Chains A and B, each alone.
Chain A
Amino acid sequence: MSETAAFDQPDPGPSPQGLNQAPPLELPPLGPRPVVAFRNVSIAFDGKPVLQDVSFSVAPAETRILLGPAGVGKSVLLKLVNGLIRPDQGSIQLFGQEIATMPESQLFALRTRSGMVFQEGALFDSLTVRDNVGYQLISEGVRDDEIDTRVHEALRFVELDQTFDLYPVSLSGGMRRRVAIARALIHQPELILYDSPTGGLDPVTSTTIIELVMKERDVYRTPSLLVTHRLQDAFTLCTHRFDKDEGHMVPLPEGVTNPDTTFLMLEEGRLIFDGSLHELLHTDNNFVREFLE
């Protein structure tokens, strides 16, 4: 996939009438409309560029894994997706709406259509797990019994139903991430943003989290953007599928990878790779090769 795939139009070919002709009519976009589309997005903090000229898209049912070493702007990019941060330049479309210049009051409504899992979970310390997971429903004034039912459902999805009445402080790091995933999923979002969901966790807990990400991808086919610097997690997502009948992930046959799971890679604020696992493993880019090694 090219770096600007979402905006690519078919080449109309050379004009037989020469150059002195009116510009060609804009062609309709190819394929389904992307859920997220970045076009030449740049942002700087205190004069220091963090992201430069970044363009990519997330298609419906697609899982995009954003790779890169620490401090290259992965989390910043994720926060740009749902308007938590504004870009200095460029266009960001979320669910087909331009959000780079959208007023904050309108963004609140749009954000409720997406779910976000933060790096450390970002659970509200003063609220129980029930109130954390049902936060959005409580804000919307949903009836208490319906909130309880839906919170139990979301907690069962992450296999933490027993934590319903607990406070976040009594949960382990991995449990907090799983509760954060439940909170992001309770509203059946049209897009999920995962910010390093396995960062700082032990391998077993990381696998549990990745299995949940995979379950959401394969059972509900929710498009997502996942930030990570752990290659193992990224490769597991590509080479496994969630088996609904068995209730856990199973490996895909040898040489087969999930076609809807693709990669993006950042280096010093620039997007240097956009493509499939196969393309990632066979790229000539030295930085990517070094990162993989």
Chain B
Amino acid sequence: MATYSIDRTAKQLVLTVQEYSLFAYRAVLNLFSAPRYWPEFLVQSDIIGFGSAPIVIMSGFFTGGVLALQSAATLSEFGAAAVTGRFVSITMIRELGPVLTGIMVAGRNASSMASELGSMVVTEQIDAMRALGVDPMRKLVTPRLFSCITMLLFLTILADAFGILGGAAVTVFMNHQDGTQYFSEAWEHLRYPDIIQGLAKPLFSGFIIASIGCFYGMRTSGGTEGVGRSTIQAVVTASVLIIFVDFLVTQVLLTLLPPL
């Protein structure tokens, strides 16, 4: 009985991965053939980009602040409190900016995509769209995917910038250190591999958020309860995948572009 259950679960997992791969492949491929729904792309960019900006700015700012608080205490033990700016900027740009932005946007947008598309599935709006001769993959999924990738790039830059500002605020107003020194340290020790690493990660996170959100939304079944289930699955899966893929990308980029 237990073997049967494990066997069934494993098969279900493989099937889900296979379905997700085909789903994501079709969503990407749609961009290279007509019809393309550019107005949808702009609408989604507004929802994902401008809509998520406040939470990304706030989380970035306070994360930078916490980093400065925590690091200053430890660094001062070694007489190195002056390098707080360097520590905050590199940590934010290489790691925390992309990951935090990904998780914040996943919580906000993967859930909204899954619940919106899921509701459309259970109320037969997706079937109605197909019956009217419109491909829901092209109309709903592809614009979300590409606007999420594009917007996550800019949101990450925003999170990085406000993280460094948050660190500066703590350094100047709470740790009573020199602001010029903070920014000088933050800027001078930044290298291109750091920036490349920081800007490569949101491309993967954006893809994960939109493709997972839409995938779980489009395969919703079981009425309103099913919509709730899809929403939870989308957020949990997207968040875990963002951290996992972040680990893989970091490993690959550290090999390709070793720190100086």
Contacts and interface: CB of A to CB of B under 8 A. Distances in A.
Interface of A: 79, 82, 84, 104-105, 108-109, 111-112, 114-116, 118-120, 122-125, 135-136, 139, 183
B7 interface: no
Contacts of B35: 139
A84 B132 contact: no
Interface in B126-177: 127-135
A178 to B, nearest CB: 15
Nearest to B134: A139
Given A122-B128, A139-B35, 16 more contacts: A84-B127, A104-B135, A109-B133, A111-B130, A118-B128, A118-B131, A120-B123, A120-B124, A122-B123, A122-B127, A123-B125, A124-B129, A125-B123, A125-B125, A135-B134, A139-B133
Contacts of B125: 122-125
A109 B135 CA distance: 10
B187 to A, nearest CB: 45
A108 B132 CA distance: 8
A118 B125 CA distance: 9
A136 B133 CA distance: 7
Contact of B131 (A105, A111, A139): A111
17 contacts: A111-B130, A112-B133, A116-B128, A118-B127, A120-B123, A122-B124, A122-B125, A122-B128, A123-B125, A123-B128, A124-B125, A124-B128, A125-B125, A135-B129, A139-B35, A139-B132, A183-B132
B132 A136 contact: yes
Given A120-B123, A122-B123, A108 B128 contact: no
Secondary structure at the A interface, as helix, strand, loop or mixed, is mixed
B130 A84 contact: yes
Please indicate which of the listed interface residues B124, B125, B129, B133 has the most CB atoms of chain A within 10 Å of its own CB.
B133
Chain B's interface size range is 10 to 19
Interface string B1-27: 000000000000000000000000000
A108 B127 contact: no
Nearest to B33: A105
Please indicate which of the listed interface residues B123, B124, B131 has the most CB atoms of chain A within 10 Å of its own CB.
B131
Given A118-B128, A122-B128, A108 B133 contact: yes
Contact of A118 (B124, B133, B135): B124
Contacts of A111: 130-133
Contacts of B130: 84, 108, 111
B123 A84 contact: no
A60 B194 CA distance: 69
Nearest to B139: A139
A62 B135 CA distance: 30
A139 B128 CA distance: 13
Contact of A108 (B123, B124, B135): B135
Nearest to B125: A122
A104 B30 CA distance: 13
A119 B133 contact: no
A84 B125 CA distance: 12
A116 B134 contact: no
A125 B134 CA distance: 17
Please indicate which of the listed interface residues A105, A109, A120, A139 has the most CB atoms of chain B within 10 Å of its own CB.
A139
A82 B124 contact: no
A239 B170 CA distance: 83
Contacts of A105: 135
Contacts of B133: 108-109, 111-112, 136, 139
Contacts of A118: 124, 127-128, 131
Interface in B84-134: 123-125, 127-134
